[in-house]
Amino acid sequence: MRESAETTRTKILRSIAATAMFVVLMLAVNFAHMRWFDVNVVFYASLLDAAIALVLAIALLVLARFREFNPFEKLQLIVVWVLVGYAYAISVPTVIDRSLSFYILEKLEQRGGGIRKDAFDRVFTDEYMKEHHLVDIRLTEQEQSGTVVIRDGCVKLTPKGEMLAGFSRFYRTHLLPKKRLILDSYTDALTDPFRNSSARADYTCE
């Protein structure tokens, strides 16, 4: 039996309202988590916040008795919330936390709106690395992800890390652009960034 136009309109409005409720819950949980609780990795913490908000939203969905929605439509609504939560976690807090592009914009603002182009190498090595605790943060993320272990001052790949490194290397070599614009020229430099690396290094460990 086909739904009336009024029923369809009601469903659309209630689904928008329910999704808005989920977003508000997620932002509130995320705000509280980031401000008052320990966070190991921003991305994982944001995913957890989205999951908590999802559980709360489902509970409210049950309590509100959205009778006009059939079980499949309720499932669709939950899938939408999952996608919204994942998109938020990876696109907002994680990007702002990790993005070199945002750092450049913030650094330009800090320095009065302009920095000489020939000074950016020094900005990255002398300021970016220290200001963002870049090495410590990335090692923490990798250790929490189970891709490396740190023992006796040595960082070593785990089997999971070896698998991901192999995948990344394959994808970079074969599927990243061969003609990528870098400043004023097109190059394949980033398909093999180790091309000009030194054959020997004195920082390896057994």
Determine what percent of the chain is predicted with pLDDT higher than 70: 95
From CA 73, how far away is CA 92, in angstroms rounded?
28
Q: Is residue 206 part of a domain?
A: no
Give yes or no for residue 50 having a pLDDT over 90. yes
What domain count does the chain have?
3
Do 93 and 36 share a structural domain? yes
Among 165, 134, 21, smallest CA distance to 81 is for 21
Q: Say whether 179 sits in a helix, a strand or coil.
A: coil
Residues 6+ apart with CB under 8 A from 24: none
Does residue 198 lie within any of the structural domains?
no
Q: How confident is the model at residue 202 (pLDDT cuts 50, 70, 90)?
A: confident
Residues 10 and 88 in one domain: yes
* 1 confidence band (pLDDT: 50, 70, 90): very low
pLDDT given at position 75: 87
pLDDT tens-place string over residues 60-119: 877 766 667 777 888 898 999 999 999 999 999 998 888 888 889 999 998 889 999 889
For residue 180, give its domain range: 150-192
Domain shared by 118 and 88, yes or no = no
Sign of the dihedral through C-alpha 71, 72, 78, 80: negative
Indicate yes or no: pTM above 0.75: yes
- 149-181 tens-digit pLDDT: 999 889 999 999 999 999 999 999 998 898 889
Res 200 pLDDT > 80: no
The residue among 143, 161, 163, 159 whose CA lies nearest residue 151 is 143
* Alpha-carbon separation of residue 78 from 66, 81, 88, 147 (angstroms): 13, 5, 15, 31
Residue 199 lies inside a defined structural domain of this protein? no
CA dihedral 172, 177, 178, 181 (to 10 degrees): -120
User: What per-residue confidence (pLDDT) applies to 51?
Assistant: 96
Residue 203 lies in a domain: no
